[in-house]
Structure 1
Amino acid sequence: MRRVLLPLLVGLAVLAPVLVAGPSTAVAAVPAGSAASPVTTVAAAVSPTRSSWSTSFTAAWKPYGNCGVPVAQLDTQSYAALNLDSSAGGVGQYANGKNCGRMITVKVGEVCVGGRHNTGPVGTGFCIGGKLVKDKYYGATQTFVIADSCPDNNNWCRNDAYHLDLAKPALAKFVKNGTVMTGLSTAWANRKVTWSFVSAPKYTGDIKIGFRRDSQKYWTSVLLTHLQNGVGGVQYFQDGQWKSAKISGKVGQAYELGATVPNGTKFRIRVTDALGKPVKGGASYNFSFPTSCKAKCTAAYTPVSYTH
């Protein structure tokens, strides 16, 4: 489905990417291994800080992760996956896709020295027989966008309520005191991290809308990207009334729409972000089925322009 998980544990960091406009375009931290249930609901643009371990992965999307967005359409090439399930409390931080498209800040923590990490069995601890050490990478930061879920059966993603899985190429982009921390990708094993949800830094412009592969007038699924606080819900206007759109499975940024008239080609939607706030004050987005798709869209993502 997605990529090969590497048993490497990561640290968190924040390098704020500049998000450009589209074409129209408290709770205390819960320590890793805690039995406390993870909090998966979102109540603020800046969330409580989570403490966790982290793995990294080499992306093998065909053509996208579980949030549904192709890599080329992401706001930043520093992207991450949240745990799909959690042994500590059922639904993981992926929250059935509701945290897709949100930004997190990640800060690098301690490295495990002289020990071994959880290799899979349920209930197995992290950094067994070792000790946690603050090395030169400690405190480096970076911003990531949530683009996937971590559903592996080895329990790296399950035993830790707030586990993070980071795209391996992004490990070379952590910054500390204005300096890029080269070499971190090879020094990542058994890393502790802290992280929190944040509003997209330096956000400008408006959302982007694209039709998913296999969309047609009888079944239409669109991807919503470039939101300051992710996407929490979508309504479409049909036959004179607003109706709630459903997420396409657990593909968190994909919503199935109806046209303004059944089986039509014109669409009108309004969007709520992950914090429950109407996007652009509740403005409607008006667009049409792409003429380039003809009867059915064959590309992974076909962008469209819109009017308000």
Structure 2
Amino acid sequence: MGSASRRMAARPGVLAVIAALVVGVSVLWPWKSGAAPAAPITGNATHFDALGAPYGGCGPPQDVLDAPDFVALNVYNTPGDYSFYPRPIPPSQAAKIGLWDNGRNCGRFVQVTIGDYCTGVNDGAPGQPFCRNGSWVTDGYAGAQLTMVVADSCGDSNAWCRDDPGHLDLSTASLNRFVKNGVPVGDMNPAHWNNRRVSWS
């Protein structure tokens, strides 16, 4: 039995409770799920170092995730509105639900493809355009891919999490593991990152 399997075996009660909560939320909310569509979605990508302590927005601690490469999806779909709303977002405010989908997309795997690089300012400042004073250019990292698991939620009051419905927040450690032509890119982050565009499905 591998180390990950041993860790999971040591916490059967915790994992059972998490599973019950996820299933309960999925079954009991009285409106149709807005699950992420199969067609590729395009957005800006940021990165974060680790799931929040003791766990991320989806519940399981980082050491029991199904994959080492993980992402956060947007909690809200509120372009231009940086206010905070109840979580889970109630049916009366369903239009504000982002692709995290009140947690229903937790545990799903997404295939992420690297896109264009920004030559300008791409800092996610509220109310400001992405890639200010620059342009989007294609370079040698474009097309690199990685399969990642949804493990967290992005609800911060910045342009990434609010103005860009297709935004992904990626694990920092995963950035240089993206693969192109069968080889990890190795050095995309930090010098060639600048919150690139990505597509994902």
Q: Which residue pairs with 1:92 in the alignment?
A: 98
Post-superposition CA distance 1:203-242 (Å, at most 9, x none): xxxxxxxxxxxxxxxxxxxxxxxxxxxxxxxxxxxxxxxx
- For 1:154 and 1:180, the matched residues in 2 are separated by 30
Q: Is the 8 A contact 1:118 1:125 kept in 2?
A: no
**Whose strand fraction is larger, Structure 1's or Structure 2's?**
1
Q: Is the 8 A contact 1:127 1:190 kept in 2?
A: no
- For 1:43 and 1:120, the matched residues in 2 are separated by 26
Matched, 1:134 2:138: yes
Q: Which residue pairs with 1:255 in the alignment?
A: none
Q: Which residue pairs with 2:45 in the alignment?
A: 54
RMSD, matched Cα: 2.0
Matched, 1:195 2:200: yes
Q: Is the 8 A contact 2:175 2:188 kept in 1?
A: yes
Structure 2: 5+ residue stretches without partners: 13-32, 80-94
Letter in 2 for 1:49: P
Q: Which residue pairs with 2:186 in the alignment?
A: 182
> How far did residue 153 of structure 1 move?
1.3
- Quick one: which of 94, 118, 122 aligns to 1:112? 118
> How far did residue 155 of structure 1 move?
2.6
- For 2:36 and 2:100, the matched residues in 1 are separated by 15
**CA 1:83–1:43 in structure 2 vs 1: closer, same or farther (change >3 Å)?**
closer
Letter in 1 for 2:108: R
Q: Which residue pairs with 2:83 in the alignment?
A: none
- Quick one: which of 49, 66, 69 aligns to 2:57? 66
Partner of 1:56, secondary structure, is strand
- For 2:165 and 2:109, the matched residues in 1 are separated by 18
Q: How many residues align?
A: 157
Q: Which residue pairs with 2:166 in the alignment?
A: 162
Letter in 2 for 1:191: R
> How far did residue 60 of structure 1 move?
5.0
- For 1:191 and 1:61, the matched residues in 2 are separated by 23
Structure 1: 5+ residue stretches without partners: 1-19, 26-39, 197-308
**CA 1:41–1:70 in structure 2 vs 1: closer, same or farther (change >3 Å)?**
same
TM-score by length of 2: 0.72
- For 1:119 and 1:193, the matched residues in 2 are separated by 15
Greater relative CO (CA pairs within 8 A, separation 6+): 2
Identity %: 40
Post-superposition CA distance 1:20-71 (Å, at most 9, x none): 9x87x9xxxxxxxxxxxxxx72387xx1110101110111521210100111
> How far did residue 98 of structure 1 move?
0.6
Q: Which residue pairs with 1:78 in the alignment?
A: 69
- Quick one: which of 101, 109, 113 aligns to 2:107? 101
- For 2:143 and 2:36, the matched residues in 1 are separated by 26
- For 1:60 and 1:105, the matched residues in 2 are separated by 20
Partner of 2:159, secondary structure, is coil
Moved beyond 3 Å, runs of 4+: none
Partner of 2:102, secondary structure, is helix
Letter in 1 for 2:158: N
Q: Which residue pairs with 2:24 in the alignment?
A: none
- For 1:134 and 1:102, the matched residues in 2 are separated by 29
**Whose helix fraction is larger, Structure 1's or Structure 2's?**
2
Post-superposition CA distance 1:185-209 (Å, at most 9, x none): 212113000001xxxxxxxxxxxxx
Partner of 1:158, secondary structure, is helix
Letter in 2 for 1:48: A
- Quick one: which of 139, 142, 147 aligns to 1:143? 147
- Quick one: which of 20, 24, 34 aligns to 1:41? 34
CA radius of gyration, larger in: 1
Post-superposition CA distance 1:242-293 (Å, at most 9, x none): xxxxxxxxxxxxxxxxxxxxxxxxxxxxxxxxxxxxxxxxxxxxxxxxxxxx
